[in-house]
Amino acid sequence: MVNCGCGLLTANQEPVPLKSVDVEVAVRDHVATVSATLLYENGEQSPIEAVFIFPLPGDAAVCHFSAKIGQSEVVAEVREKQKAREEYDDALSSGQQAFLLEESEQSPDVFSLSVGSLPPGESASIRLEYVTELAVQADDGLRFCLPAVLNPRYQPRGEDGGGGTLSCGPGTSVPASLVPYSLTLSASVCSPRPIDKVESNCSLDPVQYLDQQQTRATVKLASGHKFDRDVELLLYYKDAHLPTAVVEAGRPSATPGSLMGDPVVMLSLYPEFSPLAMSSMTKSGEFLFVIDRSGSMDCPMGTAGPSQMRIDSAKETLLLLLKSLPIGCHFNIYSFGSSYTHIFPNSVVYSQKTMDEALKEIKGMKADMGGTEILEPLKHIFKQPCIPSQPRQLFVFTDGEVCNTKAVIDEVKRNAGSHRCFSFGIGEGASTALINGLAKEGGGHAQFISGADRMQPKVMQSLRYALQPAVVDISVTWDVPEGVSVTPLSPPITNLFQGQRSLIYGQLTGQSWGDAEGCVTVKYSLAGQPTQNQLRFSLQPTEDTGLTAHRLGARALICSLEAESKEQGDQSDGVKAKEKAIEVSIQSGVSSSLTAFIAVNKGSGEAVQGPLLRRHRASGSWLLESPLATALGKTLQEVESSKPESVSPEVWATVLAVTWLHGFKMDAQVEWEFLAMKAVSWLHGEKVPCLTECLRAGNLLLGCQVQESSMGM
């Protein structure tokens, strides 16, 4: 199967305009600020509009977007998404250069960048900045990953009329010698504790320490690196499990009392369980192993040199897990692809006999089950009654190549009270949004395995977590001086494990506090015993931190508000949550699913000359012309004669184009979903009174059965 890469497409479907990628990473303890500069060049004879679809970490907070064309630089601002699209369309219509950056509504780790009206022979330098938390690995290392590929995302059957197809972003994964652009990456690391070592799956120059305590260091990728695979950095600190706290000063120009104007505290907590509690590791449980056997699992774990196939690594790990289960527990093994199967009709008691039966089945497993429809086996599992006194534990192994990420995570969230979910992203390009989302909403833990990684140590850590007694009744309380208050920005903690980190964000409001201290207390019940962990911290704000904590705190708050808005729908509380999410996103300059970054280069006011070559039908509407009719497989006369009398040619052309995409091109939905959404928004803006009649006529002409609901009309 072909992996999808990142790049702008020319008319010949070649990813030529992207020339280079330069990345700077600034790591402060547990979080990273990433600045990426992408250089494009229009080698064609006319101005172009192009769409660049690319992956980012699923929990990243995009906080800056700017573009430089020649000597002119424009900095994007965050707008409500529909307003941003309208501003972009207006700019292109008047011949101005414009740039639009927006997050996919299906998966928060996929972004679309529209580059509009780039003159012939001109270069555009795009600068993107985001902040992200660093995940803790099984060996206590902190993992930073720069995704290089957007793997094909499987569109499940029955969704939007699809029949079970792979949908890809532009470009394809190619050998390193043919990658048309290079990558330079440098990282600076700063920590309150000594930096033990820095490792990578790519060649690095030697680490340069900047002080005798080895708390500051820099490292670079070796020169000549081709961006043909994910770039992974692993950072190791001494005494990594010590809790820490940072109080970050607000932006001086922001209003006091606002999120960006007040200080924000970021706490890194590692709960310590008592030896007595840890000695009561459970010997019961219902362990359900959910194994991805789609065709993509027949790919290597990594692209750098020979590596094990994904399905083989998953099988070996499953064998180890089975042999490690406690006697007397229950278990079952599910396989999924385009359909799903399970070894036993229902979960069975773990014994020598049932283990041998399962081992025999595992040895015969192949990546031969087609697509990646993970939602249906999860629904089946959640419908099964839980076994009394056997807590349900899910272990999900997948390369994470699905389009319906949010639907899968929502299903896990709805059933979070009946299970814990431990997820494993296998191979490069695994969706961070899916893997982290499953674990977060399922009260478990996420792991990523790629390249030469051995899956077994990471999986055994998750098994140890699963065997730990469940922590319940978790609460977080703040003790701060009089006149100071704390507004939590993070959602409530729903799960704790021994040695696992929890990052907590809070907005500090009130008078200046000088050398005063605050205290946070995490209380919970473990194995029937009330327990608590405390951390005292200085309230003195730290300057010049790049507002990292503010932006990550804003992202956490936005995600909570988006979830509340979705749950409440059109009810009053849902509308208020949506409005608040948009307000926080605009105020903080942090991306969300409800907003977008828009930049318009007004320059000297002179319009870009020449006909605009559009890429991927990126405009809000289509024109009723011969090229469109040809793409639809019709003559222009056939298209014109089928037009309802009451609509304009442009409305009719736009309805036909969107209908054709939904009816015949679901295999490329990741590529055109933003463009179709913009087109539907344009139709709504035109206040067309007869869209239903138009769609009915379009279906008749094209020979398809697309529904209004699937098109968002």
Q: Is 607 a member of any domain?
A: no
Band the pLDDT of 78: cuts 50, 70, 90: very high
Q: Is 174 a member of any domain?
A: yes
In a shared domain, residues 548 and 631: no
pLDDT surpassing 60 at residue 260: yes
**Which of 225-234, 371-380, 556-565, 688-697 is predicted least confidently?**
225-234
In 3D space, the residue among 283, 412, 392 whose CA is nearest the CA of residue 346 turns out to be: 392
Backbone angles phi, psi at 528, to 5 degrees: 80, 0
CATH number at residue 462: 3.40.50.410
CATH number at residue 578: 2.60.40
Structure tokens at 206: 């030697």
In a shared domain, residues 571 and 696: no
Band the pLDDT of 313: cuts 50, 70, 90: confident
Answer yes or no: are the C-beta atoms of 177 and 7 closer than 8 Å: no
pLDDT surpassing 90 at residue 378: yes
In Å, how far from its chain's centre is CA 161?
25
Give 484's strand partners.
510
In a shared domain, residues 223 and 254: no
The reported pLDDT for the residue numbered 608 is: 47
Q: Is 155 a member of any domain?
A: yes
pLDDT one-digit tens code per residue, 600-638: 887 644 544 444 444 436 446 788 888 788 888 888 889
The reported pLDDT for the residue numbered 177 is: 42
In a shared domain, residues 35 and 162: yes
The Cα 468–Cα 456 span in angstroms is 18
In a shared domain, residues 422 and 292: yes
Band the pLDDT of 3: cuts 50, 70, 90: very low
Boundary (domain end) residue, out of 544, 566, 601: 601
For 408, the 3-state DSSP assignment is helix
Amino acid at site 302: G
Boundary (domain end) residue, out of 574, 601, 628: 601
The Cα 698–Cα 704 span in angstroms is 8
The reported pLDDT for the residue numbered 107 is: 76
Answer yes or no: are the C-beta atoms of 577 and 491 closer than 8 Å: no
In a shared domain, residues 668 and 560: no
Q: Is 462 a member of any domain?
A: yes
In a shared domain, residues 455 and 548: no
Band the pLDDT of 50: cuts 50, 70, 90: low
The Cα 578–Cα 518 span in angstroms is 32
Residue position matching structure tokens 């950072």: 235
For 689, the 3-state DSSP assignment is coil
Structure tokens at 390: 């056997």
The reported pLDDT for the residue numbered 17 is: 60
The reported pLDDT for the residue numbered 154 is: 35
For 190, the 3-state DSSP assignment is strand
Boundary (domain end) residue, out of 467, 502, 527: 467
Band the pLDDT of 140: cuts 50, 70, 90: confident
Over residues 216-245, the mean pLDDT reads 84
Expressed as residue numbers, the domain containing 519 is 244-277+471-588
Q: Is 369 a member of any domain?
A: yes
The Cα 219–Cα 187 span in angstroms is 5
In a shared domain, residues 380 and 413: yes
In a shared domain, residues 451 and 525: no
The Cα 168–Cα 160 span in angstroms is 16
Taking CB atoms within 8 Å and a gap of at least 24, the contacts of 631-638 are: 631/660, 632/656, 632/657, 632/660, 632/702, 634/701, 634/702, 638/701
Q: Is 3 a member of any domain?
A: no
The Cα 423–Cα 50 span in angstroms is 36
Over residues 115-129, the mean pLDDT reads 81
Report percent pLDDT > 70 for the chain.
84
Band the pLDDT of 397: cuts 50, 70, 90: very high
Answer yes or no: are the C-beta atoms of 642 and 697 closer than 8 Å: yes
The Cα 642–Cα 657 span in angstroms is 14
In a shared domain, residues 103 and 123: yes
In a shared domain, residues 346 and 418: yes
Domain count, the chain: 4
- With vertex at residue 606, the alpha carbon angle to CA 600 and CA 609, rounded to the nearest 5 degrees, is 95
Q: Is 608 a member of any domain?
A: no
Q: CA torsion 147→149→152→154, rounded to 10°?
A: 0
The beta-strand segments (E) located in 161-307 are 165-167, 182-190, 195-200, 208-209, 216-220, 231-237, 244-248, 264-269, 286-292
Query: pLDDT: is 494 or 359 the higher one?
Result: 359
- Which residues lie below 8 Å from residue 108, measured CB to CB, with a gap of 6+? 58, 59, 405, 406, 433, 593
pLDDT surpassing 90 at residue 389: no
The reported pLDDT for the residue numbered 713 is: 60
Over residues 82-89, the mean pLDDT reads 89
CA dist 613 to 10, 45, 95, Å?
10, 10, 12
- With vertex at residue 325, the alpha carbon angle to CA 322 and CA 327, rounded to the nearest 5 degrees, is 120
Band the pLDDT of 175: cuts 50, 70, 90: very low
Band the pLDDT of 499: cuts 50, 70, 90: low
pLDDT one-digit tens code per residue, 8-28: 444 444 444 667 888 999 999
The Cα 469–Cα 280 span in angstroms is 7
Concatenate the DSSP letters of all residues of 527-578 into one string.
TTEEEEEEEEEE-PPBP-STTHHHHHHHHHHHHHHHHHHHHHTTSHHHHHHH
Mean pLDDT for the chain overall: 81
The reported pLDDT for the residue numbered 335 is: 95
In a shared domain, residues 560 and 625: no
Q: Is 413 a member of any domain?
A: yes
The reported pLDDT for the residue numbered 615 is: 40
Over residues 483-491, the mean pLDDT reads 91
pLDDT surpassing 50 at residue 66: yes
Q: How many other CB atoms are found less than 10 A from the CB of residue 575?
A: 13
In 3D space, the residue among 590, 665, 550, 661 whose CA is nearest the CA of residue 108 turns out to be: 590
Query: pLDDT: is 347 or 416 the higher one?
Result: 347
